[in-house]
Amino acid sequence: MFSQTVEYALRAVCHLAIQSPKSCTTEEIAKVTKVPTAYLSKVLQGLARNGIVKSQRGIGGGISLVKTPDELTILEVVDAVDPIQRITTCPLGLKSHGENLCPLHKRVDDALAGVQEAFSKTTLAEVLAEPTTSFPLSESVPSQDVDE
């Protein structure tokens, strides 16, 4: 249902959220998220262009989130790289349908609206804080201890 670009963007921002506020290199993100570095670079450029991440060159530089994980929604990430395409007119181009969607396409659009709504109400912090034995990007649940 979602493109590879969306999947890779979500993996990248999850890693950045886990590391926040620390910056990460593209190579580090690629290794952890299992995304090809060249593809990830393009995904990160799209995220930067749309105000999701920022990059800083030089010593101590890297990629980091613009917003905190509790401010950034899943929908913002999706919209930054490959927005959900709602159905506003007949996908078949039938002139008799125009903007009056048939029952099939109306239901598909309703489902897309539901996904948009759910993603707009879900922050990265909520996803990462949800109790689970399958933690994003990890074989195990990370320790809650902070070593800083």
Q: Where are the domains of the chain?
A: 4-129
What one-character-per-residue DSSP string does 102-143 give? Answer: -HHHHHHHHHHHHHHHHHHT-BHHHHHHS--SS-TT-SSPPP
Positive/negative CA dihedral, 71, 138, 2, 116: negative
Tens of each residue's pLDDT in the chain, 148 residues = 789 999 999 999 999 999 888 899 999 999 999 999 999 999 999 999 999 999 988 777 799 999 999 999 999 999 999 999 999 888 888 888 777 888 898 999 999 999 999 999 999 999 988 887 766 665 544 554 444 4
**Whole-structure pTM value:** 0.83
Q: Where does 4-129 sit in CATH, by number?
A: 1.10.10.10
